[in-house]
Chain A
Amino acid sequence: MNRAILDLWVGAFVALGFVALMFLAMQVANVSEEGTRGETITLHARFEDIGGLKVKAPVKSAGVVVGRVTAIRFDSNTYQAEVEMKVSAVYPFPRDTIASILTSGLLGEQYIGLAAGADSEMLKDGDRIEMTQSALVLEKLIGQFLFNKAAEGGSK
């Protein structure tokens, strides 16, 4: 076969292969995702109960992904969960920001929602978010509901 045609075909094949890889990286895996690239600051937060939160879960504010959970530990002094997250340095948050564990959809994955406060000082790298709200555990809610119903029934 003609050398030039051969080269052309192989070149097209290799280019196609790399386009496929790029597609997988960009569209499927979304490497360029917001909040995981560029400069980040590390924040800590303690939660009574993290429910089903996992490492790499998104940190969102107003529904926009601003960071990722990077580590989850158990603190045996306070018996609380210690969550470490990296938040994009592009978005500064006030010191009295509230971190709560929320669920996307009824059975969706859990994420950390940040609700900005009104403090004029901003959170710095390594700071701790003091105000936290635990995950809603469905069993506890149902238990509470039943307990309240029972109490109502008893008082009648």
Chain B
Amino acid sequence: MIRLLRTLGHLTVDGIWQVGFATRFLFAMLRHSGPSFARFSLTIRELYFSGVLSLVIIVVSGAFVGMVLGLQGYDTLQRFGSESALGSIVALSLLRELGPVVAALLFASRAGSAVTAEIGLMKATEQLTAMDMMAVNPLARVVAPRFWGGVLSMPLLAAIFSTVGVIGGWFIGVVVIGVDNGTFWSQMANSVDFREDVVNGVIKSFVFGWAVSLIAVFQGYDCTPTAEGVSRAITKTVVYSSLMVLALDFILTSFMYIVK
């Protein structure tokens, strides 16, 4: 019994300590973010690795998610004889939820894990320590550019995901099934609000970008410098950022659409 309580207490203290450490890490990194903007080529390189290389998976899954939405939405709507609302359904679900969330989940597993692995291996092979010895701050040179690369590419990836998804939904709805083209777009334009839906979606994906990138660089920087430690850190990155994205999504949604 006492042992159980002790384990519980240990886990709680450990958790709080981790959160505190991650927060301090975030501020230390923000303070050393100057070079990643002054020497923008560092960030550009990371934009390439986490943004451009994620494009393929984002575009392909966006197209499939949009096409599934088109099929499922049509199947449900035609029972009520309101297939004309297909455009609204596809666009609203993509812009508000699926675009930011699915893009962030894919981003976490595609780019976040890669960042963690890279930083973790650098730590395991003592490259970070070597940089410190040469008076190069690894936070400024290695961590901050990767963080900002992730933060900047996430909203763009989410926007591309939503756009490709809308086109996928249009392809299934209009080209394959035969919903009227004009109705599809005009219903969509009528029900989607720029401020309410598009901007909120961008805000969401921006927040997710922060969360996923922070978790990725933190787990890499914090990992045990062994092969096993690195692999565990990568698993943690994917699991924590997925949970974080879903939890943040709930919180953001309740603030954006319900509490007014």
A binds B: yes
Query: Residue A24 at the B interface, CB < 8 A?
Result: yes
Stretch at the interface among A15-23, A116-124, A147-155: A15-23
A6 to B166, CA, bound (A): 29
User: Closest chain B residue to A107 by CB distance?
Assistant: B82
- Main secondary structure on chain B at its contact with chain A? helix
A56 to B166, CA, bound (A): 24
Stretch at the interface among A26-34, A74-82, A92-100, A135-143: A26-34
Interface size on A, residues (CB 8 A): 27
In the complex with contacts A7-B44, A10-B47, A21-B202, A28-B153 CB distance below 8 A: no
User: Closest chain A residue to B201 by CB distance?
Assistant: A24
Report whether B44 and A24 are in contact in the complex, using a CB–CB cutoff of 8 Å: no
A20 to B153, CA, bound (A): 13
Interface size on B, residues (CB 8 A): 31
8 additional A-B pairs beyond A10-B52, A16-B160, A107-B82, beta carbons within 8 Å, are A13-B55, A13-B153, A17-B155, A17-B156, A17-B157, A21-B156, A21-B198, A29-B197
A56 to B191, CA, bound (A): 10
A29 to B95, CA, bound (A): 10
A17 to B202, CA, bound (A): 11
Report whether A28 and B48 are in contact in the complex, using a CB–CB cutoff of 8 Å: no
In the complex with contacts A13-B153, A25-B194, A29-B192, A20-B51 CB distance below 8 A: no
Interface residues of A (CB under 8 A from B): 1, 3, 6-7, 9-10, 12-14, 16-18, 20-21, 23-25, 27-31, 33, 56, 58, 107, 109
Task: Please name all residues of chain A whose beta carbon is closer than 8 Å to the beta carbon of B198 when the two chains form the complex.
Answer: 21, 24-25, 28-29
Task: Please name all residues of chain B whose beta carbon is closer than 8 Å to the beta carbon of A24 when the two chains form the complex.
Answer: 95, 159, 162-163, 166, 198
Mask, B166-207, CB within 8 Å of A = 1, is: 100000000000000000010011101110011000100000
Instruction: Point out which of B52, B155, B202 has the most chain A C-beta atoms below 10 A from its C-beta.
Output: B52
Task: Please name all residues of chain B whose beta carbon is closer than 8 Å to the beta carbon of A58 when the two chains form the complex.
Answer: 190
Partner of B156, one of A3, A13, A56: A13
Report whether B159 and A17 are in contact in the complex, using a CB–CB cutoff of 8 Å: yes
Report whether A6 and B48 are in contact in the complex, using a CB–CB cutoff of 8 Å: yes
